[in-house]
Amino acid sequence: MRVRFIFNPRSGRPRRNAPILPMLRSFVASRALDADLVCTEGPGHATELARDAVCAGCLRVVAVGGDGTVNEVAQALIHTPAALGLVPCGSGNGLALHLRLPKTIFGALELAAGSSGRTAEIDTGTVNGLPFVNAMGLGLDADVARRFNRLASRGLPAYARTALSAFLGRKTERCFVTHGGRREEVDILLIAVGNSDQYGNNARIAPHARVDDGVLDLVLVRPVGLVAAAFLGARMFLGTIDRSARVRGMQGTRFLIERSAAGLIHTDGETHFAGAVVEVAVRPRSLRIVVPADCATVAHQPDRAARGFALQLP
């Protein structure tokens, strides 16, 4: 089985991730693998590299990076025979945490390119034609993503500071949300649509979301004050944000969000400018992905691809 490893040296904390590249090279060189290792050079390059891998007959493409890298690689693998392997080394790693992937580089590589796991089919989403694998959002969600992506230093403390700064400068936004044939007017702080249950770092914005249930989970957070926002933040990490009276959740295959003006959205943490009308839809079981054999967050499905090989780092 042919494999391509795609490494984003700018993911997460570049200094912390600096040793990963030589370790990857050493691993590939020391194993009898039909594999190559390539590095991304800028936005969109991972998609190009993954698309080339599919055209070359690779049955497994391993994304070594954060949620943005996973998004770019996945774009090229949707509706193809190739399976996505994940080696999370970003600042949030939302999809990897949702799937209960190993938290060490060694363990993640062993799973991503080895025969110990299984291949599952998961849903993906689109927003105005842009694909996402983990989550998308607008309002405060997108503002935090924009600010966070500009930081030289990443991590949970930096994210918390960024979220607080964005919250203090945020204004209420009025939207119309159409779901299941019903259109309603709402004032929002943010709207998040999750394929998985979380943003990353175990901040579970959509606690009941599953990546293989054929639906997306929309979470609407109404305007709140600073104290209430702090409690909501705590609830996210406890997995109980859906119990708040200021939060409303709904599931569906398609959502239409209308806001007063064009503005930012994010897809898996990467920001884009979008129009006033935002349409979100699910693509059921459109991406093949390698998960632990005992993974409970995705159902067992027939593996239609060739089985793999093993890979590890100290």
Strand partners, 7: 39, 64
* Angle (nearest 5°) at CA 198 between 192 and 204: 95
pTM above 0.75, yes or no: yes
- The rounded Cα 118 to chain-centroid distance in angstroms is 20
**In the structure, what pLDDT confidence band is assigned to residue 160 with cuts at 50, 70 and 90?**
confident
Instruction: Determine the angle formed by the axes of helices 140-149 and 156-168, rounding to 10 degrees.
Output: 130
Q: Of residues 264 and 26, which shows the higher confidence score?
A: 264
Inform me whether the pLDDT recorded for 289 exceeds 90. Answer: yes
| Of the options 3.30.70.100, 2.60.200.40, 3.30.420.40, 2.40.160.210, the CATH number for the domain spanning 130-283 | 2.60.200.40
* Angle (nearest 5°) at CA 243 between 241 and 249: 75
Q: What percent of the chain has pLDDT over 70?
A: 93
**For the chain, what are the domain ranges?**
3-123+287-291, 130-283
Q: For 174-225, what is each residue's pLDDT tens digit?
A: 999 999 999 999 999 999 999 999 999 899 999 999 999 999 999 999 999 9
**Integer Cα distance of 252 and 245 in angstroms:** 21
CATH superfamily name and code, 3-123+287-291? Probable inorganic polyphosphate/atp-NAD kinase; domain 1 (3.40.50.10330)
Strand partners, 238: none
Q: For 107-158, what is each residue's pLDDT tens digit?
A: 888 888 877 889 999 999 999 999 999 999 999 999 999 998 888 777 778 8
Radius of gyration of the chain (CA): 19
What pLDDT is recorded for position 127?
98
